[in-house]
Amino acid sequence: MNKRTTAAVFLICACLLAAGAVPARADRASRTTPTVRVAQQVGPAVVNIATKSRVQARPFRTGDEFFDRFFEEFFQPMSREQSSLGSGFIFDGQRGLIVTNRHVVSAASEITVQLADQRSLPAQVVGADPGTDLAVLRVRPQGALPAVRLGDSDQIMIGEDVIAIGNPFGLSHTVTRGVVSALGRKVRTGENEWLRDLIQIDASINPGNSGGPLLNADGEVIGINTAIFQNAQGIGFAIPVNRVRRVVDDLVRYGEVVPAWLGLELQDLTPELAAHFGLAGQSGALVSEVMADSPAAEAGLGRGMVVQSLDGRPLTGVSDYGAALAEVQVGTQVRLGLVVGGRRQEVSLVARPFPLARAAELAWRRLGIAVAELDAQTARFHRVGPGAGVVISRVREGSSAQRIGLQPGDLIRQVGEGPTPDLASFQRQIAKQHLMGRVTVLAQRGRVSQYLTLGP
């Protein structure tokens, strides 16, 4: 074989090799879909959360707290260890802050976080909020950790692609994909307990996914996977990230959520009210009361005005106002779009923390009750121990509390989703419920407890 022939053969072989290599590279590139890129980018910031808790079981349980405490003096409760798994993501890699669902860690006596690189670190709860089912954990690694990027849940589009990453059934870093099915969903999570304004998705969500991130095609967190319908397929729910951002900041700063307050009492518009105030439709909420010395009073707001937007977010009624204000942080400026005398205008005011000193006033006006600390005599009557609740001292005539049949001497053991073992806890729960038109309480008389809904 001469030199010219050898060169030709070499050139042909080189071309064949090159022809074989190029499609392989192109094929891999075409397989790197947005889902693949998101999983690669965000996966290192997703964690597995393992918890251990001690569960107390009484050998004798009568249903009567007085006798149950009597038996406990003679028979020690039995204890057993319980384990569970969940998901979370690194919110702040510099400070080792991790966001998850409250129900993942609520009863935990020991929490272990496993990172994507298989390191296991002990974690402590920084703060948790039952109203939003969110919690913040802290780990102390050596060096910074990879963190997620947060998106804007107000920009979510129904039908857009979403990716969920979590640890269903303990299978770490499982990736599922789907679309946003609906927005603004309300889901029951317990007796008289609800999560509101959720993102509905059809990405596969299973036990263990709770607390994991819901991501858009750009790899931004737009929600936290939190709930599923056990008997349905393709129906999952996530907490919007804008609410997460506001709650997490409060939990890190204060250890609890501090409700923002503008001092407005609102009611939904009826067709008759809309016609009376010269409105073309029923969008917005009517100002029925402005509390003295409040941000709204100082800004000049008054009865008869209609609030139609908050920070540019349209409001269809009181529930929308409550959801929008729940995402406002104390100390920030709020823009309200109003209709005053048939004319549109906008005012700005700064949100303040709800003044606990006014909780009693709010409970009296809206619920129709005044409460006091539980005394020993009343506790014996109801057969409960100290710290079981607060006692009703007065009931306002004509109030919903009177119509339902509440009386002085009855106990209030819970307001909304939070227990009220003392007066300070009652005030904090009233503050958290101050945007709700109707409030659910757990009342007790003697040995009978019942959930009741109070309000206009």
Q: What pLDDT digit, counting tens, does each position of 55-101 carry?
A: 655 555 555 555 555 555 555 555 666 777 889 999 999 999 999 99
Q: What is the pLDDT of residue 72?
A: 56
Tell whether 345 and 280 lie within a shared domain. Answer: yes
The per-residue pLDDT for range 360-406, each reduced to its tens digit, is: 888 998 899 999 999 999 998 898 888 899 999 999 999 999 999 99
The per-residue pLDDT for range 155-211, each reduced to its tens digit, is: 999 999 999 998 877 677 889 999 999 998 887 766 556 677 899 998 877 777 888
Which uninterrupted H or E stretch holds 71? helix 65-72
The answer to whether position 93 is within a domain reads yes
How many domains is the chain partitioned into structurally? 4
Q: Which one-letter amino acid corresponds to residue 125?
A: V
pTM equals 0.73
Q: What is the pLDDT of residue 15?
A: 53
C-alpha dihedral sign at 192, 198, 204, 205: negative
Tell whether 363 and 420 lie within a shared domain. Answer: yes
* Domain C-terminal end among 115, 138, 161: 138
| Helix, strand counts (H, E) of the chain | 12, 27
The answer to whether position 22 is within a domain reads no
* Average pLDDT of the chain, as a whole number: 84
Using the predicted structure, report yes or no on whether residue 21 has a pLDDT greater than 80.
Answer: no
Q: Which of 16-25, 203-212, 284-293 bottoms out in mean pLDDT, i.e. has the lowest?
A: 16-25
Q: What is the pLDDT of residue 309?
A: 92
The answer to whether position 244 is within a domain reads yes
* Domain C-terminal end among 254, 273, 301: 254
The answer to whether position 193 is within a domain reads yes
**Rounded average pLDDT over 33-56:** 87
Q: What are phi and psi of 258, to 5 degrees?
A: -100, 115
Tell whether 119 and 206 lie within a shared domain. Answer: no
Tell whether 154 and 239 lie within a shared domain. Answer: yes
Runs of H (alpha helix) within 348-399? 359-362, 376-382
pLDDT band at 440 (very low <50, low <70, confident <90, very high): confident
Taking the CB of residue 48, how many other CB atoms lie within 10 A of it? 24
Tell whether 407 and 438 lie within a shared domain. Answer: yes
Q: Structural domain of residue 197, as residue ranges? A: 149-254
Q: What are phi and psi of 142, to 5 degrees?
A: -90, 110
* Domain C-terminal end among 94, 116, 138: 138
Tell whether 211 and 243 lie within a shared domain. Answer: yes
The answer to whether position 34 is within a domain reads no
The answer to whether position 442 is within a domain reads yes
Q: Are 145 and 72 in contact (CB under 8 A)?
A: no
Ramachandran bin of 234, using left for φ above 0, alpha for ψ from -120 to 50, beta for the remaining angles: left
Runs of H (alpha helix) within 331-437? 359-362, 376-382, 400-404, 423-432
Tell whether 347 and 371 lie within a shared domain. Answer: no
Tell whether 242 and 270 lie within a shared domain. Answer: no
Q: What is the pLDDT of residue 271?
A: 85
Tell whether 240 and 278 lie within a shared domain. Answer: no
The answer to whether position 19 is within a domain reads no
Q: Which of 71-80, 191-200, 271-280, 350-359 bottoms out in mean pLDDT, i.e. has the lowest?
A: 71-80
CATH code where residue 229 lies: 2.40.10.10
Q: What is the pLDDT of residue 6?
A: 54
Between 64 and 264, where is the model more confident?
A: 264
Length of the chain: 456
Q: What is the pLDDT of residue 265?
A: 85
Tell whether 245 and 268 lie within a shared domain. Answer: no
CA–CA distance, 438 with 7 (Å, rounded to integer): 89
Tell whether 163 and 192 lie within a shared domain. Answer: yes
Q: What is the pLDDT of residue 248?
A: 92
The per-residue pLDDT for range 408-424, each reduced to its tens digit, is: 999 999 998 788 999 99
The answer to whether position 295 is within a domain reads yes
Active site residues: 103, 133, 210
Using the predicted structure, report yes or no on whether residue 441 has a pLDDT greater than 80.
Answer: yes
Name the residue among 291, 81, 85 with its Cα closest to residue 174.
85
- Pair of tokens at residue 403: 């119509």
CATH code where residue 317 lies: 2.30.42.10
Tell whether 156 and 247 lie within a shared domain. Answer: yes
